[in-house]
Amino acid sequence: MTTDPKHLKRMKAIKEKQDQKIAAADQERGVTILLAGPGKGKSSSSFGMLARSLGHGHKVAVVQFLKGAMSTGEEMFFSQQDNVDWYAMGDGFTWETQNKEQDIASAKRAWAKAEALLADDRYQLVILDEITYMFKFNYLELQPTLDALKNRPEKMNVILTGRGPKQELIDAVDTYSHILDEKHAFKAGVKAQPGIEW
């Protein structure tokens, strides 16, 4: 099959640049990823990478710092899969519990679990879902998380999600996506949909 010579020339040039970029990225190690911002797609993106990771036969773990009071689609689905350890250890939103002491105790329990997972080299992926709120509300100190990320097994990938991340956390991670909320169905009056929001 032939193709437009201009297109071919342009594509060859792009391919050359892409190949150079790929050759330059030669470090083989696990990465830390922060997904933050007001837009939809933070936790869901982490769960998509979890599925990807399972596709490669990895062992994975999830600690949810807010969710826990109510079953979610993600928990119902993934907790049935092989190679997944799922810990939904939150009590719900702070305005639902209305109890700061209880929220702090839950945060500490969840962190103890997370800290153990981050030191366990059987896991290729650990997700700390909505952990940033714990730092934002001063329910947890940031430093132990920074230390655990730094000292984790070399091949381990870690994903952290939630709004309002502290600058020190942004500085510490390899990849940071900030998700803008340009438009949201909920604000336009559509009820939160199962399978989409939870």
Hey, which residues between 84 and 103 contact its own copies (CB under 8 A)? 93-102
> Identity (one letter) of the amino acid at 44?
S
Site residues for its own copies, 104-123, by CB under 8 A, read none
Among 121, 141, 168, 181, binds its own copies (CB under 8 A): 181
By CB under 8 A, residue 124 contacts its own copies:
yes
Site residues for its own copies, 6-35, by CB under 8 A, read 7-8, 11-12, 14-15, 18, 21-22, 24-31, 33, 35
Ramachandran region, residue 36 (left: φ > 0; alpha: ψ -120 to 50; beta: rest): beta
Q: Which residues contact 158 (CB under 8 A, 6 or more apart)?
A: 30, 31, 32, 33, 118, 125, 126, 127, 128, 149, 152
Among 66, 68, 74, 87, binds its own copies (CB under 8 A): 74
By CB under 8 A, residue 44 contacts its own copies:
yes
**Cα(115)–Cα(148) distance, integer angstroms:** 7
By CB under 8 A, residue 42 contacts its own copies:
yes
Nearest Cα to 36, choosing from 109, 128, 123?
128
Cβ proximity to its own copies: between 66 and 173 the closer is 173
